[in-house]
Chains A and B, each alone.
Chain A
Amino acid sequence: MTAIDLKGISHMFEARGTTLRALEDIDLEIRENEFVTLVGRSGCGKSTLLRLMAGLLRPTRGAVEVGGRPVTRPRPDVSLMFQRSALLPWRTVIENVMLPVDILRLDRRAHRARAEQLLALTGLEGFEDRRPNELSGGMQQRVALCRALVHDPSVLLMDEPFAALDALTREELSLELQRIWGEERKTIVFVTHSIQEATLLADRIVVMSPRPGRVARILTVGADRPRSLGLTAHSDELDRVGAELHELLFAREPERSARG
């Protein structure tokens, strides 16, 4: 089953009289329950692509379908997570997780149980009544993940969700995300700058090239799950894909490296 279908997507931004081609001719099918990472250098349009899938932007050309229905506006079956937790400081942890339930006017009692279950799943049991500013960055992102999952969306879109965390927390959360994905089967599209993250998490890696953003290559990661950077069992496959990814990202257009 195709979960997300991008058909001939092109997207342009108007800025100061000039037209910026952000994305050009993107065709991509993402299967149900697949974990796809989007990798590319800054300015390759991967965040734009994510926002098109979320219905926050409408493509200039082409069509986006999620679950067989065209995306024309944000939908409750598609959830978003950002680099910053976007937790509301005036709400407690559990209230933050319940936010989509409140706004979408879903059954509070049933979802309350689910919220608690998700918090337990992410190791936040006992933190329900804390406020976000009492939590570490990693814990805040865990809460944001619970919030993104509470109303049981079929698609989870993640825009560099661990990029602001320190390296250890980041790795820890990557492993945790795999585990949660194992229990809560979702289609996940995960934007990242990190080669390690991309290879560790993905079933398929979509490598994008910038100006205008295009799909340069799609790599399949065959390693068994759960994967870990600590286990040598999968490291050959992860290393191979990682090296290939490295080649793709750095070998092209080396003159751009100075700009980052």
Chain B
Amino acid sequence: MSSPTATAEGVDAAPGRSLGTIAVRLLLPALTFVVLVGLWWLATIVFGWPSYIVPTPLEVWQEMSDQRSILASSFRTTLWEALVGFGLAIAIAIPCAVAIAYSRLLELTVYPALVGLNAIPKIAIAPLLVIWMGFGAGPKVVMVVLICFFPIVISTATGLKSTPAEIAELSRSLSTSTLQDFLRFRFPWALPYVFVGLKVAIALAVIGAVVGEFVGATKGLGYVIVASGQNANTTLAFAAIVLLSLMSILLYYAVALLERVVVPWAEET
């Protein structure tokens, strides 16, 4: 730099700092991951566990590449169930939340019913779903919907009811129609709340799909885990579990990324 000035330095410093932040924000979680895998490996050596009890990370990695095709198709199956269920949950939950937020009557009638419904352990319903719907994707998708629905309804309804008084007055002072008020003020205001619910729900979606597969399935990562349990193929089960975690993490960050794009004004959580 031939002409280093205070201004130029100031300008340079900002992107440098943010780049550092991004690097740190990627590096630190990666470091945590490496340390955890290292501890796992160390434990298998120190305690001398045989691989049918706890396989080493390397064995799991090998199993993954050996069973590539079956794991990949299982991954796709479970991912599809989780995504379809998640999408359906959004499609049902948001209109419900709007109804609850706009109608005192529905809030008093439907809302307690939802709370009661949510109190039922969803896992307990899983076997019934198999009886009603068979072994296909249906009961898994329904399980995902049941699990994802509630956090989305609650957060969306909360968001819709949290419009600040002055914004509501501003809207009224401009004589907005109910639809204008909803589209221009209340719904955008609620969006950051909606995303809180979506982030909780997406983490539950994978769990829902796996629970559905545990009870009765012919494919999917949950099915792989159950089947490998029956064959004492612990390594394959571990491989499936690793893939499930990966799926959860990817889905969560996909929603978080979507949040950044859709509601850039929301505080980062």
Contact = CB atoms under 8 A, between A and B. Distances in A.
A89 to B, nearest CB: 4
B265 A89 contact: yes
Given A88-B188, A131-B265, A103 B166 contact: no
B180 A103 contact: yes
Interface residues of B, number: 19
A104 B170 contact: no
Contacts of A133: 265
Contact of B164 (A79, A86, A103): A86
A84 B164 CA distance: 10
Contact of A74 (B167, B175, B188): B175
A91 to B, nearest CB: 9
B173 A56 contact: yes
Interface string B148-181: 0000000000000000101101101111100010
Contacts of B184: 99, 102-103
Contacts of A78: 173
Contacts of B264: 131
Contacts of A23: none
A79 B172 CA distance: 11
Contacts of B70: none
A88 B163 CA distance: 11
A104 B174 contact: yes
A100 B171 CA distance: 9
Contacts, number: 50
Given A82-B166, A83-B166, A103-B180, A90 B174 contact: no
Nearest to B185: A88
A80 interface: yes
A74 B164 contact: no
B164 to A, nearest CB: 7
Nearest to A86: B166
A54 B174 contact: no
Contact of B176 (A56, A80, A84, A103): A103
A211 to B, nearest CB: 23
A90 B170 contact: no
Contacts of A83: 166
Contacts of B263: 90
Contacts of B191: 90
A73 B188 CA distance: 25
B173 A74 contact: yes
Interface residues of A, number: 24
Nearest to A51: B169
A32 to B, nearest CB: 21
A103 to B, nearest CB: 5
Contacts of B175: 73-76
A103 B170 CA distance: 11
Contacts of B173: 54-56, 74, 78-80
Interface string A48-88: 00000011100000000000000001111011101110101
Interface in A201-231: none
B185 to A, nearest CB: 7
A107 B166 CA distance: 26
B167 A56 contact: no
B189 to A, nearest CB: 8
A82 B176 contact: no
A104 B173 CA distance: 11
A105 to B, nearest CB: 10
B166 A56 contact: no
A56 B172 contact: yes
A68 B122 CA distance: 64
A82 B174 contact: no
A185 to B, nearest CB: 21
A86 B164 CA distance: 8
A74 B176 CA distance: 10
A146 B243 CA distance: 54
A90 B164 contact: no
Residue from A78, A80, A100 whose CB has the most chain B CB atoms within 10 Å:
A80
User: Which 8 pairs from chain A and chain B are nearest by CB?
Assistant: A89-B265, A86-B166, A82-B166, A74-B173, A80-B173, A103-B174, A86-B170, A84-B166
Given A76-B174, A90-B263, 13 more contacts: A56-B169, A80-B169, A80-B173, A84-B166, A86-B164, A86-B166, A86-B167, A88-B167, A99-B184, A102-B184, A103-B174, A104-B174, A131-B264
Interface of B: 164, 166-167, 169-170, 172-176, 180, 184-185, 188-189, 191, 263-265
11 contacts: A54-B173, A74-B173, A80-B169, A82-B166, A82-B170, A86-B166, A88-B188, A90-B188, A99-B184, A103-B184, A131-B264
